[in-house]
Chains A and B, each alone.
Chain A
Amino acid sequence: MSYYDPKDLRKFKDITQWSEALGEKFFDYYTAVFQDGALTPREKSLIALAVAHTEMCPYCIDAYTQDGLKRGITKDEMMEAVHVGAAIKSGAALVHSVMMMNKVNKLDA
């Protein structure tokens, strides 16, 4: 048995059961974030998909792949969004090599 069960995604709303006020605040916030605003819901869906991958959240990947399909987002667009996330993730690792280089340059005469 895996730690992750796809059926648990259906139970997401149940998190309010053990902390109703905070749970509802979260869902109100979540719903508001995804409303049409300066960005379209379509753009937000692609951002969510990219973040779902960088966070490596199976539930979020499941949810936002489905959301993208519902919105007519194509496979090319989805994969490009994931690459944007991956590029930032790898860039974030690589930019830290400057720290390594600084340290080497300081310690190694």
Chain B
Amino acid sequence: MTKIKGQSLRKQANPLAEASHQLKVLSEGLFKDGTLPLFKDRVAETLGRPLSAHKLEVLQINVGYMCNQVCDHCHVDAGPDRKEIMTKETMEQCLSVIRSTNARTLDLTGGAPEMNPNFRWFVIEARKAGIADIIVRSNLTIIRANKQYHDLPAFFKEHKIHVVSSMPHWTKEKTDKQRGSGVFNASIEALKQLNSVGYGMPNSGLTLDLVYNPSGAFLPAHQKDLETDFKSKLRSDFGIEFNQLFAITNLPISRFLDYLIASENYEEYMYELVQAYNPEAAKSVMCTNTLSVSWNGFLYDCDFNQMLALPVAGNLTHISDYDEKLMEGRIIKVSQHCYGCTAGAGSSCQGTVA
């Protein structure tokens, strides 16, 4: 199918916009004929049991799929044409769960989470509800996109938000290719603005982490090596400082899956993911302590499963019915995309895990 720049797969009526079609692709071919092992078998071999959840530590909430960018690799298929957005009522239900559990990290994602009209209210209420670490996954360009967002760095600082931002490379060419024309320059300006209020600066207590994910059909190198290069280049070229770099592997779903198939890299990429399977990473995958909540309040083991419409196992499926006792120990829903989280040093929303 011809790729239309600037539109989500859903808008293009691409068959891969449907989760069921993605899951079918991930279960056929190499995995159906036994050339490569199914993830559920591989992980059960490592753990001696199926992958299951421990105590909830991180509540990751997707407050909406709307975004000002249309990135090539986006697993959410986010973009300006996506209208799914979390209501204040659902946010209230999330706050009730925060008050009743030991979850101490709130990870806000999207789309661009700042585009939700109740974003700021939610952040303030979550802090009051006892969340210690509030993470906002900011795409950076939103800060420069419209004057209503220009004061976001000040808002982040006031509420001691932990800012985590995507930055696929320290060069304009590679960044703009993945994230869209003009994204690099806008991101650099936004990073300078964040630095100017103290983010990423020594002893400021304001954390600015960057997320690196590869621009194509290859896995990331060692997180520490990449961090050294990013720090050196961003400092020398732009005077930018940040705290940590998280290296994240692209999971073969949504737009990245579409890219892998269209570029005839799918088989080779799946081979590489399976060959790089690391049992130590499998013991620490993020779904064991994280719960993902969708814009309409449904519960998933992770943001990727949310996009694949794989709800948590059991009868409890909505945040309004949350019961910690029923969620702890639940069997995690898996498919072959999960190999992305166990390859090499592992991959999670906080970077490597092993």
Asked if B219 and A42 make an inter-chain contact with CB atoms under 8 angstroms apart, the answer reads no
Asked if A71 and B226 make an inter-chain contact with CB atoms under 8 angstroms apart, the answer reads yes
Judge if A87 is at the interface, Cβ distance under 8 Å. no
Asked if A74 and B171 make an inter-chain contact with CB atoms under 8 angstroms apart, the answer reads yes
Q: Which of A42-81 contact B (CB under 8 A)?
A: 42, 66-67, 69-72, 74
Q: Which of B186-244 contact A (CB under 8 A)?
A: 212, 214-216, 218-222, 225-226, 229-230
Residue-wise, chain B 270-311 has the 8 Å CB interface mask toward A (1 for contact) of 010001000000000000000000000000000000000000
Q: Identify whether the interface residues of B are mostly helix, strand, loop, or mixed.
A: loop
Judge if A10 is at the interface, Cβ distance under 8 Å. yes
Judge if B337 is at the interface, Cβ distance under 8 Å. no
Asked if B225 and A10 make an inter-chain contact with CB atoms under 8 angstroms apart, the answer reads no
Which residues of A sit under 8 angstroms from B170, Cβ to Cβ? 72
Closest to A13 in B: B275
Closest to A74 in B: B171
A10–B269 alpha-carbon span in the complex (Å): 12
Asked if A71 and B225 make an inter-chain contact with CB atoms under 8 angstroms apart, the answer reads yes
Judge if B174 is at the interface, Cβ distance under 8 Å. yes
New contact pairs (19) apart from A10-B275, A69-B218, CB-CB < 8 Å: A41-B222, A41-B225, A66-B218, A67-B221, A69-B214, A70-B214, A70-B218, A70-B219, A71-B221, A71-B226, A71-B229, A72-B169, A72-B170, A72-B174, A72-B212, A72-B221, A72-B229, A72-B230, A74-B171
Nearest CB in chain B: distance from A74 CB, A = 6
Nearest CB in chain A: distance from B287 CB, A = 25
Nearest CB in chain B: distance from A63 CB, A = 11
A72–B226 alpha-carbon span in the complex (Å): 7
Nearest CB in chain A: distance from B260 CB, A = 15
A sample of 6 inter-chain contacts (CB < 8 A) reads A41-B221, A42-B229, A66-B218, A70-B220, A70-B221, A72-B170
Nearest CB in chain B: distance from A26 CB, A = 19
Count of chain A residues near B, Cβ 8 A: 11
Q: Which of B156-174 contact A (CB under 8 A)?
A: 169-171, 173-174
Asked if B171 and A10 make an inter-chain contact with CB atoms under 8 angstroms apart, the answer reads no
A13–B75 alpha-carbon span in the complex (Å): 33
A10–B275 alpha-carbon span in the complex (Å): 9
Which residues of B sit under 8 angstroms from A74, Cβ to Cβ? 171, 173-174
Binding site for A on B (CB under 8 A): 169-171, 173-174, 212, 214-216, 218-222, 225-226, 229-230, 271, 275
Nearest CB in chain A: distance from B98 CB, A = 37
Closest to A45 in B: B221
Which residues of A sit under 8 angstroms from B216, Cβ to Cβ? 69
Which residues of B sit under 8 angstroms from A70, Cβ to Cβ? 214, 218-221
Q: Which of A15-61 contact B (CB under 8 A)?
A: 40-42
Residue-wise, chain A 76-98 has the 8 Å CB interface mask toward B (1 for contact) of 00000000000000000000000
Residue among A40, A41, A69, A72 with max Cβ neighbours from chain B (10 Å): A72
Which residues of B sit under 8 angstroms from A72, Cβ to Cβ? 169-170, 174, 212, 221, 226, 229-230
Nearest CB in chain B: distance from A55 CB, A = 22
Instruction: Please provide the 4 A-B residue pairs with the shortest distance between their CB atoms, ordered closest to farther.
Output: A70-B221, A71-B221, A69-B218, A66-B218
A69–B215 alpha-carbon span in the complex (Å): 9
A72–B215 alpha-carbon span in the complex (Å): 9
Nearest CB in chain B: distance from A77 CB, A = 10
Closest to B267 in A: A7
Which residues of A sit under 8 angstroms from B222, Cβ to Cβ? 41
Nearest CB in chain A: distance from B179 CB, A = 15
Which residues of A sit under 8 angstroms from B230, Cβ to Cβ? 72
Which residues of A sit under 8 angstroms from B212, Cβ to Cβ? 72
A12–B89 alpha-carbon span in the complex (Å): 57
Residue among B169, B170, B221 with max Cβ neighbours from chain A (10 Å): B221
A72–B174 alpha-carbon span in the complex (Å): 9
A5–B91 alpha-carbon span in the complex (Å): 54
A73–B266 alpha-carbon span in the complex (Å): 23
